């Protein structure tokens, strides 16, 4: 068997255009790797919280607790929920020990407590890595595409004059 050798152009060298395209592709791969690390390797550090909403009632069959008798960490969210008529968030242990299946009396008015568990996964290192990696990959791929067009565009997209010369 004869060994096969590839024909190489001895005059051909790697120019700055090819190096720039290679660097841009490395940036693209680096960005993809960073985004993947943020997605699969870094913990999302989700935190469980309870969303508490209060509904005004006239009578109740639940245990009634005066708002002033709640812990200070729970008094503030309950006051906000009543005054602004919106859902507020408290820690799960606070909800279970002070608000679950109860009615809160706030300034003489009864409010039944409704709670729903939420996972708070916003922010953190995983989001930063995903966001940064994504945009680094977009930047690298865009730069590689633009550099390839600049480097090889005349071969891919001949001008009218070159097109006429070929015919």
Instruction: Profile the chain (167 residues) by mean pLDDT over runs of 10 residues.
Output: 57 84 96 94 84 92 92 92 92 91 92 90 86 97 94 82 77
- Is 101 within 8 Å of 112 (Cβ atoms)? no
Angle at CA 3, nearest 5°, toward 2 and 9?
125
pTM of the complete model beyond 0.85:
no
Alpha-carbon distance of 15 to 8, in angstroms, equals 16
By the 8 A CB rule, do 38 and 123 touch?
no
């Amino acid at each position: 068997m004869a060994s096969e050798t590839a024909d190489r152009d001895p005059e051909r060298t790697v120019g700055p255009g090819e190096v720039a395209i290679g660097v841009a592709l490395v940036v693209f791969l680096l960005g993809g790797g960073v985004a993947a690390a943020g997605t699969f390797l870094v913990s999302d550090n989700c935190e469980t919280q309870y969303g508490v909403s209060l509904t005004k009632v006239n009578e109740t069959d639940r245990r009634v607790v005066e708002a002033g008798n709640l812990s200070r960490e729970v008094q503030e969210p309950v006051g906000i929920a009543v005054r602004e008529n919106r859902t507020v968030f408290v820690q799960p242990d606070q909800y279970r020990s002070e608000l679950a299946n109860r009615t809160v009396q706030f300034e003489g008015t009864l409010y039944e407590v409704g709670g729903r568990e939420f996972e708070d996964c916003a922010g953190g290192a995983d989001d930063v890595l995903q966001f940064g990696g994504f945009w680094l990959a977009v930047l690298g791929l865009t730069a590689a595409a633009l550099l390839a067009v600049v480097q090889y565009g005349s071969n891919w997209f001949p001008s009218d004059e070159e097109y006429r010369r070929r015919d």
